[in-house]
Amino acid sequence: MLAEWGDDERKLTDRVSVLVGTKNGRYPSGNTLLVRGAGEAVVIDPSVDVISRGGVPVAIDAVLNSHAHEDHVSCNGFFKDARVHVHHADLGGVRSLDGFMEIYGFQEGVRRQFEKVVVDQFYFTPRPDAEGFADGHVFDLGGVTVESVHLPGHTRGHSGFRISEDVFFLSDIDLTGFGPYYGDAWSDLEDFEESLRRVRDEEAAWYVTFHHKGVIEGRARFVEMVDAFTAVIGRRHDAMLDNLIEPRSLDELVEHRFIYRPHVELLFVNNVERRSAQLHLDRMIVRGEVSEVEPGRYLRS
């Protein structure tokens, strides 16, 4: 289970490294964080690259999952002798496959297909021994600490990690142009926006995303990027409102696609579009921005 990563191990400090994933952590890969203490070493969100490379550079005592999504829990079974920790709200998604699938809320046909993907391509292995943590839990590794920061919205238990070495792991607050992902049954738009407001106040020398951006150096650059990331929510909302100048159903909003581009073909696209559109539609109704002009059809007020 010990493997050299060479140039793909980016050392931020003597104790904290980023194991850079394929194409800078492009899905299905990811950028894994490795924290070495005097007493223990932990790996945060070991990606599929860990299995393809045959391990990590040091022996691991514990795996920390930021949340229960396929690309973040893919190596839990690989570290058989290590403890596994995830926020209490996502614990069921780590302990069993059925619990994991509940997070997405897929219909039966898509669910069965995605289960196969999760097992065959992401090596999902149930960890019934996994332990839950709460917001603010501190893992003392000896000379370095890792503190959990609950940042829900992406999933109920999605968390970042504040490392005492002046590093903050953002996980799937990935600061990409795609914007925030809140397309699962366990996603919540209001929670995601509150998490973005909370994380914006984090001060660190380095911020690390699981996908794409990787390492962001300095708070000024981070704030610029998180503000742009947050702004995507407003643009999606405005685009849906503009589309509702004529009566539309939820099905029509899903067909239009406000999250993914038309050419994207993924198993879960329609589910994500539906959940995301429903969250925005609910918000519009509460704000009085739209009204239901006939059963199941909505018009901009």
- The DSSP result for 115-144, as a single string, is HHHHHHTT-----TT-EEE-TT-EEE-SS-
Please, which pLDDT band fits residue 189 given cuts at 50, 70 and 90? very high
- Please indicate, yes or no, if residue 95 is contained in any of the structural domains: yes
167 with 249, same domain: the answer is: no
User: pLDDT tens digit string along 127-156?
Assistant: 999 999 999 999 999 999 999 999 999 999
176 with 249, same domain: the answer is: no
CATH number for 144: 3.60.15.10
Please, which pLDDT band fits residue 160 given cuts at 50, 70 and 90? very high
Longest dimension (CA), the chain: 65
- Asked if 148 and 90 count as a contact pair (C-beta separation under 8 A), the reply is no
162 with 263, same domain: the answer is: no
**HSE-CB of 117 using CA atoms within 13 angstroms:** 14
pLDDT (average), residues 169-179: 97
- Please indicate, yes or no, if residue 44 is contained in any of the structural domains: yes
253 Cβ partners below 8 Å, 6+ apart?
240, 243, 273, 277, 281
Please, which pLDDT band fits residue 266 given cuts at 50, 70 and 90? confident
Please, which pLDDT band fits residue 2 given cuts at 50, 70 and 90? confident
How many domains does the chain fold into? 2
User: pLDDT tens digit string along 92-130?
Assistant: 999 999 999 999 999 999 999 999 999 999 999 999 999
- Asked if 190 and 279 count as a contact pair (C-beta separation under 8 A), the reply is no
Please, which pLDDT band fits residue 1 given cuts at 50, 70 and 90? low
294 Cβ partners below 8 Å, 6+ apart?
247
Residue-range definition of the domain harbouring residue 290: 244-300
